[in-house]
């Protein structure tokens, strides 16, 4: 009983499972860091090319769209620097689909830990999301190099647009990862639904087609198109990189980007935060039954 101290120094009597969800995850940063590095190691376990796959995947996607859309649908003529235009979109949809895909599987894949250790279970989808976000850094470097080569000079407004775009994407990706990771425990069908969502996302943003086309064809309905936070993120990303590579950036910005781009971006971020809150709510509701259903 040597350790028994006076009641003043004792830790409080609390519910052992009491967690504050996402906040608790970011309070335990050391554990989160270990989980992230573990995820990175585990994701490429047993693969010969390893980390290279995270470059090959977007690259192959890039080439497919580049040739099919560019040459067959003739977008090279219609859109200036179409490759850069598209790559901005590929980066954003890439983060999102990665977040959703690996986030959804995260809880089920970490069965062993979930059933035996007490830790905030949000840790698993959050780690998966951070890994996905981490993979995007080299892609942005590649994009920036390509842009420099095309005569782009970075501007502070553009960089702010990039940060906002990434924030929106990661927030909405985390919201999806939270919701679907818990739901996937109950019905493994969820991962198939996520596949469909991921396919849809690539066509719901101005990536393989320019925003001007949306403004033209859906005249009056563009607000609906722009309600999608990811569409805003892609447009912000294009503001950050693609616009600066065109012959006349101001002209491009006025025709190829919607008005009030930043206001829309901030609104998209707020919307994403609301969805994230909803995701946390869903996760907390389902969490109780997770260990017994795995």
Partner 1 sequence: MAESIVVDHATKTFTLRYHRTFKQMTMARLKRQEVSNTFTAVDDVSFTVEQGESIGLMGLNGSGKSTLLKLINGIMRPDDGRVLTRGRIAGLIATGAGFHPQLTGRDNIFLNAAILGMSEAETKRKFDEIVEFADVGKFLDTEVGHYSSGMYSRLGFSVAIHVDSDIFLADEVLAVGDKPFKKKCLQRMQEVRDSGRTLVYVSHAAGSVRKMCDRVIVLEHGKLGFDGDVDAGIKYVKYDGETEDALEQEDDDLGADI
Residues 264-293 that bind partner 1 (CB under 8 A): 288-289, 291-292
**Nearest in space to 25 (alpha carbons), one of 99, 121, 106:** 121
Closest to partner 1 by CB, 15 or 72: 15
How far is it, in rounded angstroms, from Cα 70 to Cα 77?
A: 8
Q: Is 11 in the site for partner 1 (CB under 8 A)?
A: yes
Q: Whole-angstrom distance between the N-terminal and C-terminal Cα of the chain?
A: 40
Q: Please state the closest distance from residue 158 (CB atom) to partner 1, in A.
A: 38
Burial class of 228 by CB neighbour count within 10 A (0 to 12, 13 to 18, 19+): middle
Q: Please state the closest distance from residue 120 (CB atom) to partner 1, in A.
A: 10
- The stretch near partner 1 (CB under 8 A) out of 38-46, 223-231, 247-255, 260-268 is 38-46
Q: Please state the closest distance from residue 178 (CB atom) to partner 1, in A.
A: 18
**Cβ contacts of 19 within 8 Å, gap of 6 or more:** 120, 122
Q: Please state the closest distance from residue 2 (CB atom) to partner 1, in A.
A: 5
Assigned token pair, 265: 């971006």
Closest to partner 1 by CB, 24 or 155: 24
Figure out which of the listed residues 14, 77, 137, 263 binds partner 1, where binding follows CB under 8 A: 14
Element (H, E) at 55: helix 53-67
Residues 101-130 that bind partner 1 (CB under 8 A): 110, 112-119
Residues 231-270 that bind partner 1 (CB under 8 A): none
- The stretch near partner 1 (CB under 8 A) out of 23-31, 163-171, 201-209, 228-236 is 23-31
Q: Is 17 in the site for partner 1 (CB under 8 A)?
A: yes
Q: How many residues bind partner 1 (CB under 8 A)?
A: 36
Q: How does DSSP assign 122-183, residue by residue?
A: THHHHHHHHHHHHHHHHHHHHHHHHHHHTT----HHHHHHHHHHHHHHHHHHHHHHHHHHHH
How far is it, in rounded angstroms, from Cα 169 to Cα 269?
A: 8
Q: Which residues bind partner 1 (CB under 8 A)?
A: 1-4, 7, 10-18, 28, 30-31, 34-35, 38, 41-42, 45, 110, 112-119, 288-289, 291-292
């Amino acid at each position: 009983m040597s350790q028994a101290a006076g009641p003043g120094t004792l830790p409080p009597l609390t519910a052992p499972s009491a967690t504050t969800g996402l906040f608790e995850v970011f309070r335990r940063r050391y554990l989160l860091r270990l989980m992230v590095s573990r995820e990175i190691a585990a994701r490429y376990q047993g693969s010969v090319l390893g980390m290279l796959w995270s470059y090959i995947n977007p690259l192959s996607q890039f080439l497919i769209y580049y040739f099919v859309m560019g040459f067959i649908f003739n977008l090279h003529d219609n859109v200036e620097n179409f490759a850069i235009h598209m790559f901005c979109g590929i980066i954003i949809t890439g983060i999102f689909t990665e977040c959703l895909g690996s986030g959804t599987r995260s809880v089920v894949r970490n069965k062993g830990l979930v059933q035996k250790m007490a830790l905030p279970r949000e840790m698993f989808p959050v780690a998966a999301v951070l890994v996905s976000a981490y993979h995007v850094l080299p892609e942005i470097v590649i994009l920036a190099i390509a842009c420099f080569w095309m005569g782009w000079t970075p501007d502070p407004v553009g960089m702010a647009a990039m940060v906002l775009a990434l924030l929106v994407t990661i927030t909405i990706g985390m919201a999806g990862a939270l919701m679907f990771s818990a739901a996937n425990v109950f019905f493994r069908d969820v991962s198939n639904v996520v596949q469909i969502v991921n396919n849809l996302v690539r066509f719901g943003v101005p990536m393989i087609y320019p925003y001007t086309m949306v403004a033209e064809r859906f005249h009056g309905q563009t607000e609906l198109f722009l309600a999608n936070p990811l569409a805003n993120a892609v447009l912000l990303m294009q503001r950050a990189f693609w616009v600066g590579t065109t012959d006349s950036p101001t002209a491009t910005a006025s025709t190829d980007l919607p008005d009030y781009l930043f206001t829309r971006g901030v609104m998209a971020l707020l919307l994403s935060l609301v969805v994230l809150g909803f995701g946390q709510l869903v996760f907390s509701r389902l969490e109780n039954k997770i260990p017994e259903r795995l």
